[in-house]
Chains A and B, each alone.
Chain A
Amino acid sequence: MKKTATLLVVAFLISIPFYSGEYYINLGSQMLIAAIFASSLNLLVGYGGLTSLGHAVYLGLSAYITAWLITKLGLGHAQTAVIALTATTIMGMIFGWIALRATGLGFLMLTLALSQIFWGLAYRWVSMTNGDNGISGISRPSPFGVNLDDSNYFYWFVLIIFLASIFIISRIVHSPFGVSICGTRDQSKRMTALGFNVWLIRWITFVLASFFGAVAGLLYVYFHKYIHPTVMSITSSAEALLCVIAGGAGTLTGPIIGAFLVMILKNYVSGYVERWNMLLGAVFVFIVLFMPSGITPWAAEKIRLIRNKFE
């Protein structure tokens, strides 16, 4: 049943460019990128129980490194992608090492402070980042000769990365290591007594989250062909957190649904509603009030109740 539903959803996602206009295809690409980003944060927030307000730094850092290497050094896309992902993940290792000195509110504030350093650098280190003008003129790659400037091909490219990322994240969270991550979230003291190195488990989770954040950053900069310091702002980090909480933290599909919802409100509804930010806030308040554990867990519970009624 679950497999069939997954296959149907994947088939639907693949088919979108065959009957949709370019606007919707591009919106689809953005939704998938946002879903990868939210899913990466979900590793930390949902499974690790570590709420971060600085996750956008990995998206931004990966995007900036890519933009800088392509436009300033003229490096190829393959080299650039490897360097951007590696460098961002290394930064995730360092930030994780610092931020995991604390948990709870302390962790939240440390992640925020660390991301603000890079946000400030992006604005002020003009010789490297072009400051408030951002970096433009980034080209999209052409893997195996496929021109990704075509929105259809770019969508499918993003879809492949999205499916691969979600598959890997799914394997991680269902693996023994994933079970350990959840254990550290629920009973860290007990986990230590059981022989788990709680700090190391959290650090690895942090690094994994930063890696998938970097993957989203790479796709983000390919899509927009432009990068601006605002991607690393607290607003970007909070938006990703909103996707995770609204969709359902600690579930695989929750952040994806949350990201889809936020991107639709941000891109589509904003065309009709002037104060869409207010609408986004109202939707979030509604979800928190009526579906406190998020859309996915709420829907799963409703389906279970309906099933029980008919059995």
Chain B
Amino acid sequence: MSNALEIHHLNKSFGGVKVTQDLSLTVKPGERRLIIGPNGAGKTTLFSQISGEIISDSGSISVFGKDITKSPAHLRAHVGVSRTYQIITLFPKNTLTHNVALAMLGISKHKWSTINKLKADDELFVKALELLDQVGLKHRANMLISEISYGEQRRVEIAIAMSQNPSLLLLDEPLAGLSHDERIIVRDLIIAIPKKTTIIMIEHDMDVALSFAETISVLHYGSLIVEGDRDYVVNHPRTREVYLGH
């Protein structure tokens, strides 16, 4: 079986600043991978390169054996790549159901229909409601995004990501800005995601992140400097030097 993600010799520069340097990474299907590194290490840039929002200067990216290096960003969702954002990007003037239904519409051929009216009892909305139920937000389904709390918005982000039934899920700091209780709720939601979905997560909360990940990759100045299991990475002198600071 092909690897969930294979990145070979990826490079990206913004002017003279190299944000991704000869980066190679392999993630197995069903794996839970954590990416850590200090601020400016190029973690989010790497996610944007995988999701196609940033075009790489050189190198290749394959998802489940399919080379997506040159695929436009919108087509990557159709091969199973889904992502969340460090800064929440939802549709604040719309309801929770609408947000999730819209995400499902993105990978549906139905999205080009200009004739049929999109109604509240459509299959999309029914499924959206089920997903909101899974993240514990069914009771808020008809509220606007702008009316719910930050922690709930994070849960909607996860519902949106899962609504696309992704094979590769990129979670960019899903616990950022959450209270202790909210962190536990979101962490449990992430842990509950079925193994058919491979997850790569960027997270600074080491307590939560380390308990979640099977393999950890450490980035520094756009390069992969350490990779391995939890104990190996945490005890590695380079990790301590550039990230843990002791």
Contact = CB atoms under 8 A, between A and B. Distances in A.
Nearest to B72: A197
Interface in B71-125: 72-75, 77-78, 82-83, 85, 89-94, 98, 102-103, 105-108, 110-118
B74 A192 contact: yes
Interface stretch (A52-60, A171-179, A302-310): A171-179
B114 A178 contact: yes
Interface in A144-191: 171-172, 174-180, 183, 186-187, 189-191
Contact of A197 (B74, B82, B116): B74
Nearest to A174: B117
Contacts of A174: 117-118
Contact of B103 (A176, A177, A189, A194): A194
A195 interface: yes
Contact of B53 (A175, A176, A183, A192): A192
Contacts of A97: none
B111 A177 contact: yes
B112 A183 contact: no
A190 B160 CA distance: 11
Contacts of A183: 91, 102
A92 B192 CA distance: 49
Contacts, number: 81
Contacts of B118: 174-176, 178-179
A175 B74 CA distance: 20
Nearest to B89: A190
Contact of B90 (A180, A187, A198): A187
A308 B110 CA distance: 37
A176 B74 contact: no
B117 A179 contact: no
A11 interface: no
A196 B89 contact: no
Contacts of A172: 114
Contacts of B83: 193
A195 B112 contact: no
A165 to B, nearest CB: 14
B105 A180 contact: yes
B106 A195 contact: yes
B153 interface: no
A183 B98 CA distance: 11
By CB atoms of chain A within 10 A, which of B77, B106, B114, B116 has the most?
Answer: B114
Interface residues of B, number: 36
Given A194-B103, A195-B77, A196-B74, A176 B89 contact: no
Interface magnitude class on chain A: 20 to 34
B239 interface: no
Contact of A175 (B89, B103, B106, B113): B113
Interface in A43-96: none
B106 A176 contact: no
Nearest to A198: B74
By CB atoms of chain B within 10 A, which of A171, A183, A195, A198 has the most?
Answer: A195
A53 B227 CA distance: 54
A176 B111 contact: yes
B91 A180 contact: no
B111 A189 contact: no
Contacts of A194: 77, 102-103, 105-107, 160, 164
B167 interface: no
Contacts of A177: 111-114
B56 interface: no
B106 A196 contact: yes
A190 B107 CA distance: 13
A195 B53 contact: no
A179 B108 CA distance: 13
Nearest to B93: A186
A187 B114 contact: no
A190 B106 CA distance: 10
Contacts of A175: 113-118
A160 B115 CA distance: 20
A194 B99 CA distance: 11
B113 to A, nearest CB: 5
B113 A179 contact: no
B89 A195 contact: no
Contact of B106 (A171, A189, A191): A191
Contacts of A189: 53, 89
A233 to B, nearest CB: 32
Given A190-B90, A196-B74, A197-B74, 18 more contacts: A174-B117, A175-B114, A175-B117, A176-B105, A177-B112, A183-B91, A186-B94, A187-B90, A190-B91, A192-B74, A193-B51, A193-B74, A193-B82, A194-B77, A194-B106, A195-B77, A195-B106, A196-B111
Interface of A: 171-172, 174-180, 183, 186-187, 189-198
14 contacts: A171-B114, A177-B111, A177-B112, A178-B114, A179-B105, A179-B118, A186-B94, A189-B89, A192-B73, A194-B164, A195-B75, A195-B77, A197-B72, A198-B74
Across the A-B interface, give the 7 residue pairs with the lowest CB-CB distance, nearest first.
A195-B77, A194-B106, A195-B106, A190-B89, A177-B114, A195-B107, A192-B73
